[in-house]
Amino acid sequence: MSKDKMKAVVINAPGDYGIQMVDVPDVPDGGLLLQVLACGLCGCDLRTLRSGHHRVTLPFIVGHEVAGKVVATGKDYTGKWQEGEVIAVGPLVFCGKCDFCLEGKFELCENYQEIGQHFQGGFAEYLAIPKGAVERGTILTVPSTLEPWAAAVAEPIASCVHAQEKGRITKGETVLIIGAGPIGCVHTAMAKAAGAKKVIIADVNRIRLDLAVPFGADTCIDTSQVNLVEEMKKETEGKGADVVITANPVPETQVQAVEIARKGGRILLFGGVPPEKERPGINTNLIHYNALEVMGTTIFNARHYKKAMDLLASGAIPLNNFITHRFSLDDFVEGAKIALNGESIKMVIEPKW
């Protein structure tokens, strides 16, 4: 029997991708088949489109910020989501067996797998959700107040929730966010929601800075024009920022972060530095003598994903400013061009238009 076909964005080789007809995935045993309603385009998807990914074997379908409708449940399925239900799917599948999972620190899982890396992703009409994701993943029913295109972006927001939980921003604090991309914008809105007195956002790109204003930034610093460390002294009467978040891949900004933080301040290293770039030469004496806390976070667990969905539903993230572009699956290549040029904050692809 020949299989049903669907449209999907297939990456055949780095830089070579487009819509193809492929088989609709089988419903995995114990898992789900989703009709994809929305899938967010992430920075790491763009990198994979451009240059491949060490965990992805081409040809492959990426996309991991998904909302969709359950259209079938697999053999021996024991999950709670039923046919017709609209769910949001975070891509992470935790092993449930490593020391960290046993301690409940799923975000540190040694063996986690991801939809869109280990399993085919969501830039397609249908997506298979494996049994492991149903049992040990990050899946939520989409609240009736949220459209699928909005719920899809709970995934990147969950990573920010995780970071800010660790960063403990409290009322009256001054927060600097370096990087005005989608992540920097979310951090800005969240810092404001946490009660920060002053949120400053810095970027080398004036267009991005302007796009970040609606997220609640009190001050924008265009680092193509001024020295960030000097400018921050002026902004904080020489004291420094209580919290500095680096939301970009530039090593130099990590060096600056420890110079900008106030005594006793917290630094969240959110953006990873590409391995081929030089290690940043951080002045560790500043960490020592100024009693700084330098923290890292990556990915998230189900608790952060839930909180991200609550944040979206609460309106704390200005969605119309965050999701700047929505494209149909057919127009994926055109949309990806805009995103690759850095002209969008967040783009969501919706297969059924």
Question: What is the smallest separation between the CB atom of 119 and Zn ion, expressed in angstroms?
Answer: 15
Task: Please check whether residue 208 is in contact with residue 346, taking contact to mean a CB–CB distance below 8 angstroms.
Answer: no
Nearer to Zn ion, 65 or 235 (CB): 65
Q: How far is the CB of 40 from Zn ion (least distance, A)?
A: 6
Closest-approach residue to Zn ion (CB): 42
CA 49 to centroid of chain Cα atoms: 17
Token pair recorded at residue 281:
């030469």
Q: Are 274 and 50 in contact (CB under 8 A)?
A: no
Measured from the Cβ of residue 102, the count of other Cβ atoms closer than 10 Å reads 10
In the complex, the smallest distance separating the C-beta of residue 118 from Zn ion, rounded to whole angstroms, is: 14
The partner residues of 349 in beta bridges, in order of sequence, read: 39, 327
Which C-beta is closer to Zn ion: that of 215 or that of 241?
215
Rg (the chain; Cα; Å): 21
In the complex with Zn ion, which residue's Cβ is closer, 101 or 169?
101
Pick the closer one to Zn ion by CB: 122 or 351.
Answer: 122
By beta-carbon proximity to Zn ion, the closer residue of 42 and 269 is 42
In this structure, which amino acid lies at residue 97? K
The residue among 29 and 110 lying less far from Zn ion, judged by its C-beta, is 110
x/- contact string, 123-162, with Zn ion (CB under 5 A)? ---------------------------------x------
Q: Does 42 interact with Zn ion (rule: CB under 5 A)? A: yes
The nearest distance, CB 265 to Zn ion, in angstroms, is 28
How far is the C-alpha of 211 from the C-alpha of 282, rounded, in Å? Answer: 30
User: Can you tell me the distance from the alpha carbon of 335 to that of 331, in angstroms, rounded to the nearest whole number?
Assistant: 6
Q: Which among 36-44, 82-90, 140-148, 168-176 is the span making contact with Zn ion, rule CB under 5 A?
A: 36-44
- φ/ψ region of 315 (left if φ > 0, alpha if ψ in -120 to 50, else beta) reads left
Of 18, 315, 39, 316, nearest in space to 153 by CA = 39
Alpha helix (H) residue ranges in 200-318: 206-212, 228-235, 251-260, 284-289, 302-314
Question: In the bound complex, what is the minimum distance in angstroms from residue 121's beta carbon to Zn ion?
Answer: 10
Nearer to Zn ion, 246 or 256 (CB): 246
Peptide bond into 59 cis (omega under 30): yes
The Cα 242–Cα 267 span in angstroms is 9
Q: Is 301 helix (H, G, I), strand (E, B) or coil?
A: coil
Query: Per CB under 5 A, which region of 18-26, 42-50, 192-200, 284-292 contacts Zn ion?
Result: 42-50
Q: Report, in Å, the least distance between residue 195 CB and Zn ion.
A: 27
Using CB under 5 A as the binding rule, the residues of this chain from 166 to 205 that contact Zn ion are none
What is the nearest approach in angstroms of Zn ion to the Cβ of residue 100?
6
Kindly determine how many residues on this chain lie close enough to bind Zn ion according to the rule CB under 5 A: 6
* Measured distance CA(241)–CA(260) in Å, rounded: 6
Measured from the Cβ of residue 221, the count of other Cβ atoms closer than 10 Å reads 22
In the complex, least distance from residue 112 CB atom to Zn ion, rounded to whole angstroms: 6
- Among the listed ranges 11-19, 34-42, 182-190, 268-276, the one in contact with Zn ion (CB under 5 A) is 34-42
Segment 79 to 118, residues that bind Zn ion, using CB under 5 A: 95, 98, 101, 109
- Contact segment (CB under 5 A) with Zn ion among 40-48, 221-229, 315-323, 339-347 equals 40-48
Q: How far is the CB of 150 from Zn ion (least distance, A)?
A: 15
Q: String of b and e for 22-48 (b: at least 16 CB within 10 Å)?
A: bebbebbebbbbbbbbbbbbbebbbeb
Q: Which stretch binds Zn ion (CB under 5 A): 41-49, 124-132, 291-299, 327-335?
A: 41-49
247 is a site residue for Zn ion (CB under 5 A): no
Where along the sequence are the contacts to Zn ion (CB under 5 A)?
A: 42, 95, 98, 101, 109, 156
